[in-house]
Amino acid sequence: MMNIRFSLTAILLVASAAGAADSQAQTTGAVAGRIVSVQCAAHLQKNGTQGEVQLSSPRDIALGLSAGDRVQCTGAGYLEVLVSTGTKKITASDSWFTIPPLPPDPAFPKADAVIAQSLANYGRAGATRGNATDSRILWPSANAAVLPDRFVIRWAPLPQKIVLAVMSESKDVTIWGPTEVDGGAGSLKSAALSSALTGYKAKAGGTALILTLTPAKSSDWEEVHFSLLNARQEQELNAQLDFWGKNTGGLALLLGRGYSYSRFKLFADAADEYDSALSSVPESRYLLEDAIQANRLAGRPSRVKELQTRLASQPEAVNQ
């Protein structure tokens, strides 16, 4: 049960292994806890301040908390917070509860140290930001990962034919294509492409790939580097997804799956999970921020714009 508790804490507390470039409002320091449920008259006192802020649901669901912050529940009901030691349910009888610091590394076992590092990275910008804003290629994003059977190429629609191809990064061997398609379609899911990627992975064992996009009758081509999950990564991912399916449900399941996909840079799959989580708590500005980052990395600019518009209409963050 201890491993399950720690793992669930990691998933719910970490918005994305890649970080959240748009989540600066979520925390001014390392995140050591996250609001899970507000079922009472709850208050937050930020570390080092005297004033209190009232917490509400669904607005403050998934709010990140720093070590030393204090939360309180008054009257009937409860407030639920996740910290590095598990879930804490706070009632009026508990008075103020202080968010404990992250466990030190390497004082804790390796797995716990990894969780602590993930908590510390919540809300910080990651190395992977997606493709350049002027790139025609929307997905895969730079340095992202894909699964062959779920791979979809997305690009900014062009009013002409385009040529797509996928090649090995190390040997410069063409794996699929060149294939001419309608540029106005904006996306392509090909059984032949999925089969080619599966075959290449099985025979060559390679994972680093390059997608090229070239407008027909033009030398103005561009490329993006991405990868396939290797066998060990795919096995670990499937084990995590199986764990969340068996041990969680509802919002926890969606956030758990989103974290696992993000950890392996499967940003398109992660975006689907965060979008589903947001649909269950549509007024949470913090889940909005998570969904914005995931969709940006997944190359979905129209969805990002929609979510940013929704975020702009939300009340100011309680810890800004």
Is the pLDDT higher at 279 or at 29? 279
Q: How confident is the model at residue 109 (pLDDT cuts 50, 70, 90)?
A: very low
Strands of the 31-38 sheet, one edge to the other: 64-66, 31-38, 79-83, 86-90
> Percentage of residues in the chain with pLDDT exceeding 90?
37
Instruction: For strands 70-74 and 41-45, give the pairing.
Output: antiparallel
What's the pLDDT score for residue 250? 72
- The per-residue pLDDT for range 130-158, each reduced to its tens digit, is 555 567 899 998 889 999 998 999 999 99
Task: Give SS3 for 199.
Answer: helix
- The per-residue pLDDT for range 5-22, each reduced to its tens digit, is 444 545 444 443 333 334
Q: Are 200 and 160 in contact (CB under 8 A)?
A: no
* Mean pLDDT, residues 101-126: 49
For the cut 60, the answer to whether the pLDDT of residue 296 exceeds it is: yes
What does the mean pLDDT of the chain come to? 79
For the cut 60, the answer to whether the pLDDT of residue 122 exceeds it is: no
What's the pLDDT score for residue 216? 84
What's the pLDDT score for residue 73? 93
For the cut 70, the answer to whether the pLDDT of residue 24 exceeds it is: no
What's the pLDDT score for residue 70? 95
Is the model's pTM score more than 0.85? Answer: no
* Mean pLDDT, residues 166-190: 91
* Mean pLDDT, residues 65-74: 93
* Mean pLDDT, residues 20-41: 65
Instruction: For strands 70-74 and 96-98, give the pairing.
Output: antiparallel
Q: Where are the domains of the chain?
A: 2-127+232-312, 148-228
Q: Are 156 and 138 in contact (CB under 8 A)?
A: yes
